[in-house]
Structure 1
């Protein structure tokens, strides 16, 4: 019988069989962010709609086409967050974090929501790792943000990821650029899509970000922002390129990168892959020096990036990269009878307290079904407990990989088991050089 309820279009289920992939990338991004001195922040999954209109921009695709918005009592409207930066800025201002000194460096791992056509690498609910830095206009900060993104990509072992950078200037130098864009696109206005016709008057730079094939083709010959930068913005961009060169980072200057959100200024960048279908950007970000002031704070330079975790996982899968091996059951107790079940439960709980992954039969199955279950969950060892074992005080511990069995007394069971699990770990994972940390993690200090 078909299910009457299914997951919404454009969403995914992360099942136990594949959740280890999520654990891998989440651990990587946390480790990298904290290595660079960033601290985690968590904000609500929905905000007042006005926050996104003011920050993301009323001409952006996100605001005009993609937001999930609901009405509350009265005239209030709330929107599921389509991106992370605006909510973080609001939280930093509302809670006075901006008054604690600079730079402020935060990161987050969050679900985001956009109503768009689902395709490879693009979902309606997606998960984003993001970082934000507040309080410095120094191009070394731009380079640090880029290097953090690169650190994540390198830590995942990804190949064929190209860094593209650009500068889209400041509000002052964009005035003349906007005028040049209007003149160029106005001459071809009859070919533009309806959305870009509206953008032509309000924000012609948004035309450069249009996904329409026709508009994209027209935009190829449009004026280039780098020709219109003021001296300060040009100097900032040249310094950034020099720093990246000092770091030995390969990059491409791509004047067509403008990003899809209106708050960006000066530096913008993307890490682009050819392995994830139509949407090749794995990570993108840049500066947004005017956003804090726009949302009610003091003028504060700021920058950051967002990285899609689904896209990161998809790229790793396509390139056959390794994920963390999911933790499996260290030992499974197969009891036969009520007394044995009680003993098995106590032994299981004791081993769990010492940090082992231990299980016992809680269904009341026969021995064969229990052995099949132990094999299914990947148990390293199995210990069968019955009346004979309880009476003699001697049990056998079976290595499920080799089939070898080891006798142990119930009184000295833990010591015997620890020895077996250490030997098994050495043989299967080659951890001979990590004996000290391994024994500590396995709870030998508690024996």
Structure 2
């Protein structure tokens, strides 16, 4: 019997890569917390009907990409692993009566999503997102705020070559008129469209604009623009969003072909794109979805949000080689039964008072432990052998200068402020 491998479309995130994920999550958590967004955690599987009603049965996600199965037990029903985060957040918003609290709810989440797609760099069948949802405001400032926060997160991480593509898909009346215009335009070309676009022609013609087929893209170049079909209110909202972005110093590019892949979008739709990622260029995507809460059984509630794909983002950060350095305060080496027992006790005491350290558990010779200490990135090494164990002392070796001193274990634990100052000073050098 061979070894069991990770399933196709899934991958292990190993420690050297996890530091990038933790960095992204830490930056996002800090910025979102300062912006009054509250974290929400929803189940990774939901009733299939949630996504059929919320995302739209005519979308590729529902039609081709969802992981759906029947529940076990007597009352069998269809369950789906979540393909995106918004529908679950909205379901929770309705079910838990958040709308009854009044005012605007600012929510954010992070976690795995699941779609059956052809795996490639930056796109897996299990993938991860950070997302935000602002529920209860139709104000154009909400659209501008979520875009500004996404921009802040990406720029704080050091990303440079970013472009904001933005469009308005209008309200349902605007879209219905535009939908008919697209049908009228594409119908004469129907035999030249790719198979998926031929199916979409009558079911969801806006999705033809998203086709990756070369010939379909050529035909779509001269298709009508949604911006020509916006009503007065839709145009006013979009103009306000664009003016607010200008006021914030956020540059943008109008993209009338941008429709996003989900049926629930209304008005603003946007993507933040990196020029460093090749074909998988979108790092953040989102927009307004004023009809989704009511579609899922809640009251009429305007809403806007976005999601950042963590796989694509971490690929970018790794290319930039900007992983934050995690420096240990101490590396603890010990040799001998009594010394090893004392080393564990000392390590735990230091951890409890706030120091970071690694305790060498190999039991190997001092030479090998010192070699690992050199590679650990620790500021100082604590050494315990038979003599130190007998005398209740410890050798402290500063890794940068190789200077070494012997002190009592009591003094080490009693002068924590002094050691903290020295270590922090050395970390900044």
Counterpart in 1 of 2:304? 303
Counterpart in 2 of 1:323? 323
1:394-433 correspondence runs (5 A) = 394-415=393-414, 419-430=418-429
Q: Answer whether contact 1:116 1:124 (CA < 8 A) is retained.
A: yes
Moved more, 351-360 or 56-65: 351-360
State the secondary structure of the residue aligned to 1:334: strand
Q: Answer whether contact 2:69 2:79 (CA < 8 A) is retained.
A: yes
1:43 equivalenced with 2:42 (yes/no): yes
Residue-by-residue CA offset, 1:21-69 (whole Å, 9 max, x unaligned): 1110001111121122110000000111111111111111111111111
Counterpart in 2 of 1:28? 27
1:228-239 correspondence runs (5 A) = 228-239=229-240
Are the structure 2 counterparts of residues 140 and 416 from structure 1 closer, same or farther at C-alpha, using a change threshold of 3 Å? closer
Q: Answer whether contact 1:68 1:79 (CA < 8 A) is retained.
A: yes
Residue-by-residue CA offset, 1:332-380 (whole Å, 9 max, x unaligned): 3322322222222221121111011234343432222322333343333
State the secondary structure of the residue aligned to 1:188: helix
Counterpart in 1 of 2:12? 13
Moved more, 361-370 or 134-143: 361-370
Q: Answer whether contact 1:120 1:276 (CA < 8 A) is retained.
A: no
Distance 1:166 1:126 in 2: 26
Distance 1:70 1:8 in 2: 18
1:166 equivalenced with 2:182 (yes/no): no
Q: How much does 1:422 deviate?
A: 2.8
1:244 equivalenced with 2:253 (yes/no): no
Q: How much does 1:277 deviate?
A: 2.2
Q: Answer whether contact 1:121 1:310 (CA < 8 A) is retained.
A: yes
1:276-355 correspondence runs (5 A) = 276-320=277-321, 322-328=322-328, 330-355=329-354
Residue-by-residue CA offset, 1:376-430 (whole Å, 9 max, x unaligned): 4333322222232234454321122321112212331234675345324313315
Q: Answer whether contact 1:133 1:302 (CA < 8 A) is retained.
A: yes
Distance 1:425 1:182 in 2: 65
Moved more, 133-142 or 353-362: 353-362
Distance 2:174 2:410 in 1: 79
1:95-174 correspondence runs (5 A) = 95-174=96-175
Q: How much does 1:3 deviate?
A: 5.4
Residue-by-residue CA offset, 1:280-302 (whole Å, 9 max, x unaligned): 11111111000000000111111
Counterpart in 2 of 1:433? none
Counterpart in 2 of 1:375? 374
Q: Answer whether contact 2:394 2:407 (CA < 8 A) is retained.
A: yes
Q: Answer whether contact 2:168 2:268 (CA < 8 A) is retained.
A: yes
Distance 2:245 2:394 in 1: 63
Uncovered stretches (5+) of structure 2, i.e. residues with no partner: none
Distance 2:68 2:168 in 1: 32
Distance 2:63 2:298 in 1: 26
Are the structure 2 counterparts of residues 405 and 97 from structure 1 closer, same or farther at C-alpha, using a change threshold of 3 Å? same
Are the structure 2 counterparts of residues 59 and 412 from structure 1 closer, same or farther at C-alpha, using a change threshold of 3 Å? same
Distance 2:253 2:358 in 1: 53
Q: How much does 1:121 deviate?
A: 2.1
Counterpart in 1 of 2:187? 186
TM-score of the superposed pair, with normalisation by structure 2 = 0.95
CA RMSD of aligned residues (A): 1.8
Distance 1:360 1:207 in 2: 58
Counterpart in 2 of 1:438? none
Counterpart in 1 of 2:365? 366
State the secondary structure of the residue aligned to 1:411: helix
TM-score of the superposed pair, with normalisation by structure 1 = 0.91
Q: Answer whether contact 1:334 1:367 (CA < 8 A) is retained.
A: yes
Are the structure 2 counterparts of residues 150 and 372 from structure 1 closer, same or farther at C-alpha, using a change threshold of 3 Å? same
State the secondary structure of the residue aligned to 1:109: strand
Q: Answer whether contact 2:327 2:427 (CA < 8 A) is retained.
A: no
Q: Answer whether contact 2:327 2:379 (CA < 8 A) is retained.
A: no
Q: Answer whether contact 1:45 1:80 (CA < 8 A) is retained.
A: yes
